[in-house]
Structure 1
Amino acid sequence: MFPLFSVLVSLFIISLSQSDSNLISVAAASEQQTLLNIKSKLSDPLSALASWRNDSINFCKWRGVTCDDSNPPHVTALDLTGLGLAGSLSPDIAHLTLIEKINLQNNSLCAEMPVELGRINGLKHLDLSYNQFYGLVPNSFYNISSLAYLNLYYNNLTGALPPNLGQRFPQIQILDVGFNHFDGDLINLITSLANCSALHTIDFFFNNLSGSLPNTIGNLSTKLQKLVLGYNNISGSIPREIGNLVNLTELDLSGNYFEGILPSTIGSLSNLGRMQISYNILSGPIPDSIGNLTKLYFLTLMENELNGTIPASLGNCTRLQILKICSNRLEGAMPRELFSLTSMIKLDASHNQLVGSIPDVSSMSSLNYLSLRGNNLTGTIPDSLGFCPSLEELFLGDNLIQGSIPETFKNMKEITSLGLSHNNLSGRIPEFFGTLHTLQYLNLAFNNLVGEVPTGGIFSNASAVSLLGNQGLCGGDSELHLPSCAFQVPEASKKSSKMVVIICAIITIAVLICFCLIVSILYKLRRNKRIAKLHTPVPFSKDKYKKVAYSDIAKATDGFSSNNLVGSGSFGSVYKGMLDNQAVAVKVFDLEQHGALRSFNSECESLRNIRHKNLVGVITLCSSLDFKGNEFKSLVFKYIPNGSLDEWIHPKSSGKKLSFSDGINIAMDVASGLSYLHHHCATPMVHCDIKPGNILIETDMTALVSDFGLARFLAASHSTSAEVSTTLVGLKGTIGYIPPGKLRNFKYHNFSNCNNFHTSHIIVVVFAIFTAEYALGSTISTQGDVYSFGIVLLEMLTGKRPTDAMFKDGSNIHAYVSSAFPEKIIEILDPSMFGEMNMDMEKCIIQLVHVGLACSKEAPKDRMRMEDVAAELSKIKQIYLGSI
């Protein structure tokens, strides 16, 4: 019996072993299938998940997968950072019941967060940052009490953060939900987080949180090192209790509505390295206790209403590298202690009410950027500035500085931008400026400089130099359009000698007549060559675009019937028609017009190189002879029945009305298209004629930039002498949208009194048209398009054309808007574009206006890059969408 019992026991044990083995196999297969289900919801253009295959037995060795040592193994971590993945996050992820870490940072996942995430009770680390998740965070998600690390930064998530967030995430250490659209009241939220004893980071940057900062801020964990609340809707004062956060290393309260004083307790944050409290309404002095922050390396307090003097105690902050206190009401002299900091890299104290002289800067060996413009500084420019070996940008304009330009400036081997305008500088312009090869921008306008202007170097680039308002200057490069030094007359005889004026006028007229004759001759020569160019292959000849015959175009437009005429421009007309059962717009070039042939070739070359959803695309072209044997050229585009932006901004009887939502989208579309042209084309391109009439509106209100007849590739923007001579007959662009260069400064000339009529005035007026940035023959830059875009944006918001009769005597739309910005901006906006406003909408409007003003600044270097414009508009659009 015993042998039989023994056999039965053995068989039972074997069966149990086989059963366990089967269960293990099933469990492993389940987790493997879960991972495959997750992969099925993802787009993997880089084949980063190639190892995730059905025939691969050990899923623990798949890329990004980490397992424990159990049998069967369980997935404990999933790290797919930066793999270019798109698609959505599968709800099946909840089947990985023992997973503790999920990291999907820096991909392109675009979906709602799955509700099933809330079922992973042991999840400790979740990073979905830098994706495109949207919608409401599911409420079940806030039940994961084990969560210690949460990063949702830079998504499109909405909804209110729970006021009891701290109770729901008691173990939280890193809480980063910046750059989303979360709203809610900050007061209870901060209070609840006081329960989180391990809290290390709070980042609510760029959301829609409101309310005030409560006194309970001081009850947060003393382990807190990072507190970022910038760019929300937080109001009230900064509580004194903030000084309790003694281990704080980063504090950002910028872009809110904080008012009152900056509390002296801020000096208790002895570990603080980075503090940003710009763009608020803070008043009162900067507390002396700020000098206690000896680890501080980055401090920005700009764009507030701070007053009093700059505390000398800042000299104790021996690690300070960046200091921005511009655009406040600070007064008094600048402390010498501040200018003794050897660590300082950037110092901006511009647009305050500072007085006295500029202190010695010989100790600031690391200084890279210094701006003190827009104050009441006196004295001379210190020689020691010339011995700052790293200095690249120096701006001292709009002060009361006297004396000559120091000879030590010849030592500035790294200088790129130098602004000394609107001071009382005297003497000659130093010759060595022409030898500073790094110098790209020089503004010496409106001083008392005299003598002959140097040549060569930066002085050979008229768009990079401003010398207006220095009546004693002469000579220099011809592009500067200064009077010849040979025509200079003694100061004593200027008031009585009108003969000089008459002689100059005669000479100028003679030069103009010769100029016109030369242009006329060149025009005839070019016209004679036109027939020869007829058989030259146009840029599309090797592309996919199939040319059509003249007869096809004539038939499509019903013989170019006036009933089909859509509009006309400088180089021809546009007709609507039907071609191959498709509604088209046919741009017919009037080749009798000078420049039309070049415009055709330019537009062909441009259109063959661009592919973007916000740039108009060409269907085909026609380069042929008409029925009379004359040369004929046209381009065929998709017909856009919704018209141009000009018709929407200035409707007549069409019933068109532009909403604020449409305006944001159109601005975003145009910026996106221009950003592509400037920064992402194989060969960067400048459009040169951005205006509402060249922005077409699709039926879904998508904006398309059109008319590339004046576009230029940057690689070929420096014209040859022949090209310059044939293009000096007009401006690149349209009046009102052309970058002003020095043209706007003619308001400073007074021609009513002949006794004060300077010899150079006649020459200045004659050549005024050629001193704008887009004066033909000048260097073309992407900053010209940025200026035009800024003007279009201001026109769209105000409903005022830049050529409106109200802009006279030197005024313009930029100055008009700037004078009302920001307090009275609502009063000058187009009322038909805005309905009932809330605080979020007003904030968006102010930010939009700010972009328009920043783009349309006079100096090209002060304007934004179009890539940055597009990014800024994207943020504004997100804020607006979160408010409706």
Structure 2
Amino acid sequence: MNSHIGFLFSCLVISGITSSISISGGGNETDYQALLQFKSMITNEEGLSSWNTSFHFCDWSGVICGKRHRRVTALRLKSQGLEGSLSPHVGNLSFLRHISLSNNSFQGTIPHELGRLTRLRALDLSSNKFNGVIPTNLTRCYNLEELELSYNKLVGSIPKEISFLSKLTLISIRTNNLTGGIPPALGNITSMEVFSAAENPFGGSIPNTLGRWKSLRGFGCGGCNLFGTIPHSIYNLSRLANFSLAGNELIGSLPSALGAMLPHLVFLQLRHNNLIGPLPPSISNCSKLRILEVGDNNFSGKLTIDFAKLKDIYKISLYNNIFGGEADDMKFINTMENCSRLESLNLNTCQFQGVLPASIGNLSDRFRFLNLHGNHLHGRLPSSIGNLVGLTALDLSKNQFSGKIPSTIGKLQKLQDVFLSENQFSGPIPDAIGNLSLLITLYLSSNRLEWHIPSSVGNCYNLLALYLEDNNLSGRIPRQLLRLSSLALALDLSQNNLIESLPTEVGQLKMLTSLDLSDNNLSGNIPSSLGDCISLVSLSLKGNSFQGIVPSTLSSMRGVSTLDLSQNNLSGQIPRFLEGLILLEYVDLSFNDFEGEVPVLGVFANTTKFSVLGNSRLCGGLPELGLPKCKGTGKHKRRFPLFAIFILIASTLFTILCFAYVWGKKKKSQPSQSSREGRFIKVSYGQLLKATNGFSQANLIGEGGFSSVYKGILDDHDDRFVAIKVLHLQNRGAHKSFIAECQAWQSIRHRNLLKIITSCSSVDFQGNDFKALVYEFMPNGSLHDWLHSNVTTTKLNLLQRINILIDVASALDYLHNHCLPAIIHCDLKPSNILLDDDMVAHVGDFGLARFLGTNSNKNSTSGIRGTIGYAPPEYGAGSEITSSGDVYSFGILLLELMTGKRPTDNIFIEGLSLHRFADMALPDHVIDVIDDDLLNLHQEDAIPMIADVKKIEECMASTVKLGVSCSVDSPAQRLNIVNVVHELQHILDTLQNS
């Protein structure tokens, strides 16, 4: 009997175990199949390479399983570069507690099947491309604590049913397209700690019910079109640390007891609203406050905050309010001495009066940004300003400061931007200004400065723009200033008393865009070297005493659009080359002593585009000018004999051919200039092997079809890093690429081209051919890295992107218009744009470059014409390589930089391209296609010194329009690169002046 019972018990146990195995196996199989379905909807599976049968699915990358049941409990695939759709089968992973798919490229709708995941606690789908609505089914995930859907393209409204998720502590939905206001029912989620919903066009007011969120620490609804007042119940949320309502249409005033009601505030951001009244002095009690941003409101009254209690504060932004009105308005500066972390103080356009206290010099050594623009400050600038050794930007423009500029300003050796314009500064410009070697822009215009321009300014070798106009400066223009080859934006010395001739060194300003020397006492001839300023767009010499003829070398300034030579003593005939400057929009030659016939072509074909008034010896021209006819223009005008013209042409051609033959033979018999001078250092294969630690994988920084690029250090190169490009000579076309690149680098030098150090053509230790090029190392990698990889978490702001575009366009302008013969790059794309320490862009990789006007620019059916997506369509049809092909590639690169989308993005199918994608958004919906990262940076004030949001968005639209104009299919309709540089510079100027 006992044996029967024992047998029966054994059977039951075995049966139970079998049943358990069956259930477990079935559950595991469900999870396994769900993961396979997830993988099947990923279009690029590189990030899921471990998801194969060689491993148990619990060992797959990003998959976390429970130890007991071996069921999937978490899916963590953040920042894996995944593209595709999210499979609804994820809803079958019934043990899931955490889903993290952020920072990928998932698109399509969020599957409503996620509502089956009743154990789910955290759902993070942020930073993807999900569209559609937020599924109401998510409310079935009743254990959900964190919901993160930010940085997508979601539409519709916030489902009011989300209020049933009573355990929610975090909702993050910022930067979508959600409308319909903030549902009052959300106030029922009393566990809420963080609500982040900025940058959604919600509309409506802030519900009073949100005052029930007693545990709330973070509330962000900036840029949500909210109106009305801030409910008083919000101020009762005493745990609130981050409070941001910037960029709305809120009205009303702040409670006087704000600091006592919200004592834990760390971030207070209320900028760009319509708030009124005083700024509560009780803010002094917010001892943890780090950021105070209330700019662009209508706050008024005296600023009485005691900053001494705010020891952690690092950013104070109060611009564009109505503070002040008393003689001691700036007294609050005295309370900032203990603010040891303060970095930025922005008080521009606040109507502050009085003097700037000497205590300004007691601010933190971390202090880097001071903006007092547009107030009513007077008196001397304290010499203690020299104590702010960390300062990088100083804006005191549009005040009434007087007296001398203190020489202690020379101690601020980190200064990059100085704005002292429109004050009453007098005396000399201090010589100490030459100590500011990092200076980029210097504005001293519209003051009462006198004496001479210090030659020490020539030490500011990073200077891009110098404005000294409208002062009382005298003496000569220092030659050291004109040797500043960095000057690229503007040199304005107008409305002063400068004397003597214009030094010939002016020709060294080859990158300069605008030169204004008008209304001085300059004399002598216009130097012929001025024609070397080939980048000039605007040139004004008016109101001086220049004499003689206009030098013919000015014909080299092919990009000039405005030329003003009026009110001088110039003579001779009006230069005919002015007719051929196709970009010339206006020329003023009035009140000189020109004689002879007025041209009728080019700019002279329209009387609104030129002026020749006050030249009494002119004749001819357009009838509207009313000038007398020129003598000798009748029917019997003598003609030069035709046979004489023929003889002249024939003899000239014969002379040229003979010279070319002799010169060619002579060149063959002599080494090149570069080889005679030994310009490049010599390196061997062994040296490069050592420099890269045996071409180790750890030193590999890039790879392409023809080459691999390694980081290394050459022994005789001052221990500086170099980039060593090793050619894959076994690949077809690699040798040709090496030759093309060497030929290109022989004759080009430009600040926006990658600098070559040397080359190596040798054999390796096995006797195989070895070829390499050694370049200057670019520490900030490629533009592609910044746009599409996880190399850096920092994103490029708008100013950086525009500056990079200007750098690249300037390089193309040099290659197309200032090289002989002209060079076509043929492979412009983000991976070939390298960035140095200062984020200056350098164009590299000339392996496909062609010389215009030679046989090398003919395409063949087997030739490489660039990279798919960037190569112009006509190359695919076998057309010749032209400069407009590079313009097309630049246009695509520009659109990629502004939209964040590659031209080969998966969305570009069925006739949709990056060009068409951008074109369809013009003119009113450009913001919809702008890179989300760029919009986020813009909203978070990553663009310094720019306050006009509308102007910024207009600049974004202008930039996209420029990219569309460059990338049209028809080569003839594309912009000239000179125009592109000009337009980008205009956009940059607009941004910086916003």
TM category (shorter chain) comes to 0.5 to 0.7
Answer yes or no: is the 8 Å Cα contact 2:545–2:568 preserved in 1: no
Contiguous gaps of at least 5 residues in structure 2: 75-96, 218-238, 532-538, 550-566, 574-590, 606-638, 647-853, 862-881, 897-918, 930-953
For residue 882 of structure 1, what is the aligned residue in structure 2?
none
Answer yes or no: is the 8 Å Cα contact 1:143–1:168 preserved in 2: yes
Answer yes or no: is the 8 Å Cα contact 1:302–1:326 preserved in 2: yes
Secondary structure, in 3 states, of the residue corresponding to 1:8? helix
Deviates more, 1:457-466 or 1:416-425: 457-466
Following superposition, the deviation at residue 431 of structure 1 comes to 0.6
Task: From 468, 473, 481, give the equivalent of 1:425.
Answer: 473
Following superposition, the deviation at residue 269 of structure 1 comes to 2.0
1:329 paired with 2:379, answer no
Answer yes or no: is the 8 Å Cα contact 1:244–1:268 preserved in 2: yes
1:296 paired with 2:382, answer no
Secondary structure, in 3 states, of the residue corresponding to 1:112? coil
Task: From 158, 162, 173, give the equivalent of 1:141.
Answer: 162
Change (3 A) 1:402 1:204: same
Task: From 667, 670, 675, give the equivalent of 2:959.
Answer: 675
For residue 289 of structure 2, what is the aligned residue in structure 1?
248
Matched AA of 2:989: D
Task: From 181, 200, 203, give the equivalent of 1:180.
Answer: 200
TM-superposition CA deviations, 1:619-642 (whole Å, max 9, x none): xxxxxxxxxxxxxxxxxxxxxxxx
Q: Distance in 2 between matches of 1:166 and 1:112?
A: 21
**1:263-274 alignment runs, 5 A limit:** 263-274=304-315
Q: Distance in 2 between matches of 1:415 and 1:127?
A: 45
Q: Distance in 2 between matches of 1:662 and 1:405?
A: 47
Q: Distance in 2 between matches of 1:499 and 1:111?
A: 67
1:508 paired with 2:594, answer yes
Answer yes or no: is the 8 Å Cα contact 1:209–1:232 preserved in 2: yes
Following superposition, the deviation at residue 432 of structure 1 comes to 0.7
Deviates more, 1:92-101 or 1:477-486: 477-486
1:455 paired with 2:455, answer no
Answer yes or no: is the 8 Å Cα contact 2:351–2:376 preserved in 1: yes
Q: Distance in 2 between matches of 1:613 and 1:467?
A: 34
Q: Distance in 2 between matches of 1:276 and 1:603?
A: 46
1:339 paired with 2:359, answer no
1:378 paired with 2:443, answer no
Following superposition, the deviation at residue 400 of structure 1 comes to 1.8
1:356 paired with 2:403, answer yes
For residue 805 of structure 1, what is the aligned residue in structure 2?
none
Following superposition, the deviation at residue 296 of structure 1 comes to 0.6
For residue 242 of structure 2, what is the aligned residue in structure 1?
201
Answer yes or no: is the 8 Å Cα contact 1:111–1:132 preserved in 2: yes
Following superposition, the deviation at residue 358 of structure 1 comes to 1.6
Following superposition, the deviation at residue 346 of structure 1 comes to 0.9
**1:774-853 alignment runs, 5 A limit:** 780-784=979-983, 787=986
Q: Distance in 2 between matches of 1:503 and 1:786?
A: 35
Q: Distance in 2 between matches of 1:108 and 1:371?
A: 42
Secondary structure, in 3 states, of the residue corresponding to 1:451? strand
Q: Distance in 2 between matches of 1:436 and 1:28?
A: 71
**1:537-686 alignment runs, 5 A limit:** 664-665=924-925, 675=959
Answer yes or no: is the 8 Å Cα contact 1:443–1:466 preserved in 2: yes
TM-superposition CA deviations, 1:661-702 (whole Å, max 9, x none): 9963489999778635756x9xxx869xxxxxxxxxxxxxxx
For residue 12 of structure 1, what is the aligned residue in structure 2?
12
Q: Distance in 2 between matches of 1:499 and 1:4?
A: 126
Secondary structure, in 3 states, of the residue corresponding to 1:337? helix
Following superposition, the deviation at residue 422 of structure 1 comes to 1.4
1:24 paired with 2:24, answer yes
Answer yes or no: is the 8 Å Cα contact 1:177–1:203 preserved in 2: no
Aligned residues: 587
Change (3 A) 1:152 1:500: closer
Secondary structure, in 3 states, of the residue corresponding to 1:293? coil
Q: Distance in 2 between matches of 1:110 and 1:48?
A: 23
Following superposition, the deviation at residue 419 of structure 1 comes to 1.1
TM-superposition CA deviations, 1:709-731 (whole Å, max 9, x none): 574453xx4xxxxxxxxxxxxxx
Q: Distance in 2 between matches of 1:499 and 1:243?
A: 62
**C-alpha root-mean-square deviation of aligned residues, in Å?**
4.9
Change (3 A) 1:396 1:609: closer
1:155 paired with 2:176, answer yes
For residue 102 of structure 2, what is the aligned residue in structure 1?
81
Following superposition, the deviation at residue 429 of structure 1 comes to 0.6
Following superposition, the deviation at residue 272 of structure 1 comes to 0.8
Change (3 A) 1:221 1:361: same
Change (3 A) 1:210 1:165: farther
Identity %: 26
Change (3 A) 1:189 1:345: farther
For residue 354 of structure 2, what is the aligned residue in structure 1?
308
Matched AA of 1:176: S
TM-superposition CA deviations, 1:324-361 (whole Å, max 9, x none): 22233333332333332111111112223333322221
Q: Distance in 2 between matches of 1:36 and 1:215?
A: 60
Change (3 A) 1:152 1:301: farther
For residue 277 of structure 1, what is the aligned residue in structure 2?
318
TM-superposition CA deviations, 1:706-753 (whole Å, max 9, x none): 997574453xx4xxxxxxxxxxxxxxxxxxxxxxxxxxxxxxxxxxxx
Answer yes or no: is the 8 Å Cα contact 1:184–1:208 preserved in 2: no
1:416 paired with 2:543, answer no
Answer yes or no: is the 8 Å Cα contact 1:105–1:130 preserved in 2: yes
Answer yes or no: is the 8 Å Cα contact 1:445–1:467 preserved in 2: yes
Secondary structure, in 3 states, of the residue corresponding to 1:361? helix
The answer to which structure, 1 or 2, has the higher relative contact order (CA under 8 A, 6+ apart) is 1
For residue 495 of structure 2, what is the aligned residue in structure 1?
446
Q: Distance in 1 between matches of 2:485 and 2:991?
A: 24
Q: Distance in 2 between matches of 1:163 and 1:430?
A: 69
Deviates more, 1:344-353 or 1:57-66: 57-66
Q: Distance in 2 between matches of 1:339 and 1:245?
A: 31
Deviates more, 1:140-149 or 1:375-384: 140-149
**1:484-499 alignment runs, 5 A limit:** none
Answer yes or no: is the 8 Å Cα contact 1:356–1:378 preserved in 2: yes
Secondary structure, in 3 states, of the residue corresponding to 2:15? helix
Change (3 A) 1:302 1:432: same
TM-superposition CA deviations, 1:213-235 (whole Å, max 9, x none): 44564356655433334345555
TM-superposition CA deviations, 1:594-623 (whole Å, max 9, x none): xxxxxxx998997799779999xxxxxxxx
TM-superposition CA deviations, 1:286-315 (whole Å, max 9, x none): 423344422111222224333333343332
Matched AA of 2:520: N
TM-superposition CA deviations, 1:796-850 (whole Å, max 9, x none): xxxxxxxxxxxxxxxxxxxxxxxxxxxxxxxxxxxxxxxxxxxxxxxxxxxxxxx
Following superposition, the deviation at residue 375 of structure 1 comes to 2.0
Q: Distance in 1 between matches of 2:301 and 2:275?
A: 13
Following superposition, the deviation at residue 395 of structure 1 comes to 0.9
Following superposition, the deviation at residue 379 of structure 1 comes to 2.4
Answer yes or no: is the 8 Å Cα contact 1:678–1:782 preserved in 2: no
For residue 118 of structure 2, what is the aligned residue in structure 1?
97
Secondary structure, in 3 states, of the residue corresponding to 2:355? coil
Task: From 515, 519, 544, give the equivalent of 1:469.
Answer: 519
Answer yes or no: is the 8 Å Cα contact 1:196–1:221 preserved in 2: no
Q: Distance in 1 between matches of 2:70 and 2:885?
A: 65
